[in-house]
Amino acid sequence: MMTRIVLAALAALSLGACNLGAEEVPEGGIDNIRLVNAGQDPANWITHGGTYAEQRYSPLTQVNRDSVGDLGLAWFADMDTARGQEATPLVMDGKLYVTSAWSKVFAFDAATGEPLWSYDPQVPGETGVKACCDVVNRGLAAWGEHLFLGTLDGRLVALDRDTGEVAWEKVTVDQNASYTITGAPRVIDGKVLIGNGGAEFGVRGYIAAYDATDGEELWRFYTVPGGEDREAEPEYLKAAAETWSGDTLYGEESIGGGGTVWDSMAYDPELDLLYFGVGNGSPWNRAYRSPGADGTGEGDNLYLSSIVAIRPDTGEYVWHYQTTPGETWDYTATQHIVLADMEIDGRERQVLMQAPKNGYFYVLDRATGEFISAEPYIPLNWSTGMDENGRPIMNPETRIDVTGEPALVMPGPLGGHNWHPMAYSPDENLVYIPAFEAAMLYAPEADWKPDRARGFNVGFDLGAGDLPPDLGIRREVQGTITGKLMAWDPVNQEAKWTVEHPGPWNGGVLATGGGLVFQGNSGSEFAAYDSATGDKLWSFAAQTGVVAPPITYTVNGEQYVAVLAGWGGAFALSADGTLIDQMKPVRNISRLLVFKLGGTAALPEAPTLARAPLDPPPSRASAATIELGREKYARYCAVCHAPGAVGSTVLPDLRRSGALENPAAWLQIVHDGALKDNGMASFADSLSKEEMQAIREYVIKRANEDKAMEAQLATDRVARR
């Protein structure tokens, strides 16, 4: 297979395709030649990261440092969902294809924005409670005349690229378990590759390959041991099993183990290696996931939080590198993987680079997995450094799975860098990281038991770090949470420049041959920066937070820059809403924005961000009832409705819910599932009616506290005038 790909690449290069444009690339299907040589075809954007190396770099130069000031809106398209938008569009032969929330697909004329077709997979609304981090989708893959979509409810769907008609679909997960798909597939040699999510809920992770012609499963690579027959497992899993303790992975009572492959992949055609990142453990707390004889967590727990290299033709294991041995903080290694060639210590190296959640920037040899270097790209305290073998030296005070005591750990579970793609500029030899700083108080939950129906299965008290209704404390905490765009030198392992943003959760990145870096941010701005200095050269008021990554392409010789805008995702849902508002209030207005030099289109006037006032009924419940409600809210509600019930602008803020006044209405929603089509499924299998009412009483108490805090804030404002 590798010989076939290399020969295809040589054949394409022999045509002199060193800078193909749309007019020079024959129309038709996507094949190995086009995918291997995607970097020589900057007119199009045919795979998720721009190329198999996932550099998200375009050599296009029409929009450059000197001309970017003339960039204007060419066209826009409103999406029909008001949830987080995280997709990378694909562009092929003058047509743009993009996914939106709830796994919908839209096709447009890439130059004019004329709608061509749309597809709705009709994901059941109740699937929303299985998604840890919003009902998002990150994009498509292309092969032949088809597009490939992973749906939130775990299907892989092949669509006709011209019409949007379904060619085939395949269920890739156990839909009775809490699996989801939010990541974009990739295609290698006619094999569609897709992973899944759900580690927070208690599933076993894997990546699988499917035949692009009919959806037949070709191989499946599990990332953690498990199943029913230990002896039948392949050697790489038998080796991994030696790094786990206890008996939690096998049989009907398995807790899943986690290790989901929910986002990053990259491919080297010359080495014929597929690289992917593996997620966190299930549960997070290793003391429950891999308990030793003394009741504390033990073992590295392979292949959690690892970068793994396999053969894409067969799924054969080749090598791995574990970024966080024995992870217990939700430190996934599913963050963007970038491949590049560069000189390090006087030697040309084929490298793999990643900035995973744990706060270290890694450079590895991508042929062997050899550790080259790692340095912190943000402040961190879980580790005090790296040993000579590239293994992190643990800070024992933060090993809450061993101490059993709470600890404030940096970074928190959202990491120092999340799913938002980085970019690499070979012109500058810099990696551009959408980074942020935010710690979390991790507190072990006593006598934790998994819930196989609903809720986060993490083994920690997720309400332990809730902020009190105290303006001073909230302002102090707000000052510790930052977001930034960092230009990182991977050879010297240091930041060359940094741009500070209003807050965390800023967009993915695009680098171009025009000396530009494009990124959206949580301050509802889309901007272009000088790739060498970080100077802001251009910006556009997007009216909503931009978390998705941009792309660029040409049609008829004219360069376009496109980005999907729409606030949402994990931070938007699971962070304290007051903190977000104090950084910069942001709402969801889901749109595809497309720019070109001289563009004259304009967005409609932004709607006013209006919210119902805090007007709760009086809080009369006992302290015991409210504490019960706090415990259950933290486990079952906070992931979507925010900690401490301080909701966001994306999902309903429960403090403002009319159902607080009416216990029967509350039960119709939480127990009976009256709003399941909107994503709010019934929790009857996990919570008793008494527990549901205790949650209501807790939210009432919190609403009253925050109403008083808002009154104090208003008084302070008057006093300052």
Active site residues: 330
Rounded to 10 degrees, the C-alpha dihedral 335/341/344/346 comes to 170
Strand residue runs (E) in 531-651: 536-541, 551-555, 558-565, 591-597
Kindly state the tokens that stand for 275.
Answer: 């690289």
Q: Which residues of 661-674 are buried (b: 16+ CB within 10 A; e: fewer)?
A: eeeeebbebbbebe
Q: Rounded to the nearest 10 degrees, what angle do helices 663-670 and 689-720 cross at?
A: 110
Q: Write the Ramachandran bin of 108: left for phi over 0, alpha for psi from -120 to 50, otherwise beta.
A: beta
* Residues pairing with 267 in the sheet: 274
Task: Tell me if 186 sits within 8 A of 193, measured CB to CB.
Answer: yes
Q: Name the one residue in this structure whose structure tokens are 């088809």.
A: 146
Rounded to 10 degrees, the C-alpha dihedral 422/423/429/433 comes to -30
Whole-angstrom distance, CA of residue 131 vs CA of residue 55: 28
Task: Annotate 569-580 with DSSP letters as a single string.
Answer: SHHHHHS-HHHH
Task: Tell me if 210 sits within 8 A of 156, measured CB to CB.
Answer: yes
Task: Tell me if 207 sits within 8 A of 276, measured CB to CB.
Answer: yes
Task: Tell me if 223 sits within 8 A of 39, measured CB to CB.
Answer: no
Task: Tell me if 490 sits within 8 A of 431, measured CB to CB.
Answer: yes
Which residue from 181, 116, 127, 187 is spatially nearest to 154, judged by alpha carbons?
181
The amino acid occupying position 164 is G
